[in-house]
Chains A and B, each alone.
Chain A
Amino acid sequence: MNPAVLIASVYVFALAAFLGYQVISRVPPLLHTPLMSATNAISGISLIGSLVLAGTGSSRYAHILGFIAVTTATINVVGGFGITDRMLKMFGKRKDEGKKTAAAPATGASK
């Protein structure tokens, strides 16, 4: 890695940290569990590093490591997004029984 690339990477890191702080401090405690599993799924982005290792690694040893890494990172990504969606679906639900019959139809949970 040459210094110019390093400096660019440090910029990206610093700005992402700042942006992350701004965005994440607005997440209400209500959604902290889905937040954690969502950011966990997003950090499963190391899957793409695993793919490169598995696909372009030079030795058999690297291929084996790549295979395991792709598998575990995929578990991380798919499981993380899946469970996050399952949780958020529950938060989207409105109470549609009981006396509150006039509850507005759920708009946020569309699509």
Chain B
Amino acid sequence: MSLTSYFMEATYLIASILFVLALKGMSHPETARRGMFLAEGGMAAAIVGTMIGNHILPIGWVLVALSIGSIIGIWMALFVPMTSMPQRTALSHAFGALAAALVGVGEFITHGAEMGVITRGALGFEVMLGALTTTGSLIAAGKLHGTIHGKPIQFRGQNAINLIIFLVMTGSFVYFWMHPSVIAAFYTMLGVAFIFGVMLVIPIGSADMPVVMSLLNSYAGLAAAATGFVLSNNVLIIAGTLDGFSGFILSVLMCKAMNRSITNVLFGGFGSVIATASAETGGVMREISLDDAAMQLAFANRVIFVPGYGLATAQAQHAVRELGELLESRGVTVKYAIHPVAGRMPGHMNVLLAEANVPYSQLYEMEQINPEFPSTDVAVVIGANDVVNPDARDNPNSLIAGMPILEVDRAKSVIVLKRGQGRGFSGLENPLFFKQNTNMLYGDAKSTLSHLAQAVQHV
């Protein structure tokens, strides 16, 4: 082994250690940023090590590719608004997975003939996972961005067709694995994997995106890990596995937060189910005037804001922070309750509120905040619906029965900010809206919140 190869291996070892330390830093907001500097350093070291170890440095057009990628990457990092974070992350998954798939194809072209059985198997996984994650993530990004309709796209016999596509994909994988000389099998696998990625994501509704995002995150990581097996490169295996497991853990957490299994999310097409005669709650929704709502808030002792995806679509995060601060200056205790699947990706709400300067000490997880609702004077629900639906807890026949909810209905009084009288993504009636202590405030969340703030000032 030459000196430069030793140097390269050393940078890989350092990068691996720094990646783990970086993720360890993520356990607290105070240390997270410093941790990411370590990961960035590790990545830079691995890149430089690779360029020196493989004598790539003098090749100009590699530098051109690096520069183009950096410019696009920096542009994405700087100018993407926080509300678009889910689609940006999905797009990023697509880019990373595409790179893994292309490396696999390149490996096949260059070394395909002399590959052993094991390497060929890893290569198949890399290309399949990479390809289906690429198209799957692009579809997810399109749905999140609204380019593609967010509603689940379903048709008769969908699961059967998907099964056939899956069988063709794995079949050509096995065929390629046993008969490496048949080049067509490899490219069939690649092409069908691209199609499978599309088919996997189109039947899933926007509201289930947190699970899909986490799964695609996991696949992208596993594709990188498979690349590591193909190239016998440990840092690829380590970094890919860390990502794969992180995505996996997040998917499990998201599924738990919806009380559904991963298979149900992927093949259930939940978002399209039209509520079948959900228990008629009856009663009427009571509207409240802006001034009355402001009065309630101004004279409360404890207020909890419950943001949902409606807050993100209305870009109302700054408006809610202003109202919150105004209430605090009047001596009201203000907290924010965050449901794990509020928003379109894990932790989405936290990021939006942090962007609006809400200190993270005011953001509470579901388990922490639920016991506090009974002693809360006013709970303000902003564009959330299913995560506060008491049917999930009380009505065993409900479609979302068993899903853990924020127990807003136990607060002394509830104000619901809602765009209109429509239903949530599950199409379910929400008994919370008909309760005695619930008042509705219709309109765009952002303008409603800023009007509320003005009204509170005049109380």
Contact = CB atoms under 8 A, between A and B. Distances in A.
B227 A49 contact: yes
Contact of B347 (A5, A31, A79): A31
Interface string A39-58: 11111111111111111111
Given A48-B235, A53-B106, A69 B99 contact: yes
Contacts of B348: 33
B51 interface: yes
A65 B29 contact: no
Given A43-B239, A82-B78, A88-B32, A73 B221 contact: no
Contacts of B34: 108, 111
A1 interface: yes
Given A75-B69, A89-B33, A95-B357, A83 B85 contact: yes
A55 B55 contact: yes
A74 B354 contact: no
Contacts of B351: 33-34, 87, 90
5 contacts: A26-B24, A28-B27, A45-B15, A58-B109, A67-B62
Interface stretch (B151-159, B175-183, B246-254): B246-254
A23 interface: yes
Interface string B243-274: 11111011001000000000000000000000
Contacts of B74: 78-79, 82
Contacts of B23: 20, 23-24, 27, 35, 38-39, 42
> Which DSSP category, helix, strand, loop or mixed, fits chain B's interface?
helix
Contact of A30 (B228, B355, B363): B363
A96 to B, nearest CB: 9
B236 interface: yes
Contacts of B253: 29, 32
Given A29-B365, A30-B360, A89-B33, A78 B355 contact: no
B53 to A, nearest CB: 9
A59 interface: yes
Contacts of B214: 36
Interface residues of B, number: 112
Given A20-B246, A72-B98, A93-B354, A12 B238 contact: yes
Given A75-B92, A78-B73, A33 B30 contact: no
A77 B73 contact: yes
B363 to A, nearest CB: 6
A54 to B, nearest CB: 5
Contacts of A95: 357, 359
Contacts of B338: 29-30
B292 to A, nearest CB: 26
Interface of A: 1-3, 5-6, 9, 12-13, 16-17, 19-21, 23-59, 61-62, 65-95, 97-99, 107-109, 111
A89 B28 CA distance: 13
Interface in B315-360: 325, 328-329, 338, 340, 345-348, 350-351, 354-355, 357, 359-360
A38 to B, nearest CB: 6
Given A31-B350, A38-B39, A26 B27 contact: yes
Which of A6, A48, A111 has the most chain B CB atoms inside 10 A of its CB? Answer: A48
B238 A16 contact: yes
Task: Find the residue from B72, B96, B98, B227 having the highest chain A CB count within 10 A.
Answer: B96
B36 interface: yes
Nearest to A84: B36
B69 A72 contact: yes
Contact of A27 (B26, B37, B99): B26
A19 B234 CA distance: 15
Given A46-B100, A67-B61, A98-B329, A31 B345 contact: no
Interface in B34-56: 34, 36-37, 39-40, 43, 46-47, 50-51, 54-56
B88 interface: yes
B310 interface: no
Contacts of B231: 49, 52
Given A42-B239, A56-B56, 19 more contacts: A13-B237, A31-B347, A32-B253, A36-B345, A36-B347, A38-B36, A46-B224, A51-B47, A53-B103, A54-B56, A55-B51, A61-B109, A65-B103, A69-B98, A71-B72, A80-B96, A81-B40, A87-B354, A97-B325
Given A39-B246, A50-B102, A78-B77, A57 B96 contact: no
B89 A37 contact: yes
A56 to B, nearest CB: 6
Nearest to A78: B73
A17 B245 contact: yes
B107 interface: yes
A23 B77 CA distance: 26
Nearest to A48: B50
Nearest to A76: B96
